[in-house]
Amino acid sequence: MAFAFPEANNNWKELTKKNHVTEARKSPIDPADILQRFTQRLREKLNKIQRTEEENETLIHRAMKMCKDEAVSQWLKQEFEFGAFDKLGDMFHFLKKHIDEEEKKDHSDRVHITLLAHGAIRDSMIPASCLLPLSTIKDVVLYSPWNCTILADAAYAVATGIMKPQHRVFNCYTKNGCQVPGEEHRPTKLPNHWNSMRRAGHQKIPNITLSPLKPPTDAYLKRFESLTKQYGLPERNHVIIPYILPAEEESSQSVPFYVVSLALSLALLETRFKATVHLTTCLGDQSAGQKFDTEYLKNQYACTVNNTVMTTDPHIFRKWF
């Protein structure tokens, strides 16, 4: 109704305006016809909402039934009741389309899926185990430290499987006016491994949200595509899924990563694949209220100072390719 009423109101104004100026005496507008069209439009939207809700409920119930971790199952139920999974069905169909295409290729049963998207951490905390709701996802691996952005060079190195912890390079994201010495952008006590959500278990992590890439002007995507053109696509068993929506769907931009991981878990159920998911997205703190406890984030994995970006040593491409 929120969409349909303004639309009907605008149509009414436009038709009335045209009727008054040009054809008022020749063909007066029938208000009943306008009302009928508005009612039909409203009915279609309400039916779509109902179908979406029913599909989301079916998917979440299937997930809770198959989830082997009781704490995660209860968390899914709670969040669903709060309306957190309203985009689950849309994400399921988006990801299933990609996975179905990959099944036609010569991959083995174990695959590495790299998700390309814009991202941030926002406001709340969730158990890390909630990113592994079903057994179809063996692990979710984060690459940026908390409060850190990532460049496409690092994302490409991850997607091709050549990125190692020793290849990390940290710089200041701002070109001018940075008040922090360059070497201080590298976190202290930086682990010599990536941030594995399986290893983290029920430990709390910030809520990660993803936003779609927007071709053709998206700088992150353009750089990734340039590297792909120069050095080639990943080899067998490596899958890349860029989060790109059709233009007409761009209003539904931000989605919690736990919705994406659940949708991907469900999509994989209908395939032979078991996957390790690699998330190459920025994890900058964009909380609207109180910021995250940096000491806690340092203990969970690592946390950078503001305006830090992670990239990779460019020489690794020449070495491997």
Q: What is the pLDDT of residues 34-45, one digit of tens each?
A: 777 777 676 656
The H or E element containing residue 76 is helix 70-81
User: Does residue 78 sit within a domain?
Assistant: no
User: Does residue 104 sit within a domain?
Assistant: yes
Domain co-membership, 35 together with 92:
no
Place 236 in a pLDDT band, splitting at 50, 70 and 90: very high
Domain span at 27: 1-66
Q: How many CB atoms lie within 10 A of CB 210?
A: 23
Give the global pTM.
0.83
- Rounded CA-CA distance 132/137 in Å is 6
User: Does residue 99 sit within a domain?
Assistant: yes
User: Does residue 73 sit within a domain?
Assistant: no
Domain co-membership, 21 together with 91:
no
pLDDT above 90 coverage of the chain, percent: 68
Averaged over 3-11, what is the pLDDT?
Answer: 53
Domain co-membership, 138 together with 287:
yes
The H or E element containing residue 262 is helix 257-269
DSSP states of 216-260 as a string?
TT-HHHHHHHHHHHHH----TTEEEEE----GGGTTS--EEHHHH
User: Does residue 282 sit within a domain?
Assistant: yes
Domain co-membership, 8 together with 120:
no
The whole-number pLDDT of residue 93 equals 95
User: Does residue 72 sit within a domain?
Assistant: no
Q: Angle between the 31-66 and 4-18 helix axes, to the nearest 10 degrees?
A: 160
User: Does residue 296 sit within a domain?
Assistant: yes
Domain co-membership, 278 together with 160:
yes
Q: Which two tokens stand for residue 71?
A: 């704490």
Domain co-membership, 224 together with 166:
yes
Q: What mean pLDDT, rounded, does the chain reach?
A: 87
Place 31 in a pLDDT band, splitting at 50, 70 and 90: confident
Count of domains in the chain?
2
Place 58 in a pLDDT band, splitting at 50, 70 and 90: very high
pLDDT in tens, 13-23: 555 555 554 44
Domain co-membership, 97 together with 12:
no
Place 50 in a pLDDT band, splitting at 50, 70 and 90: low
Domain co-membership, 233 together with 102:
yes
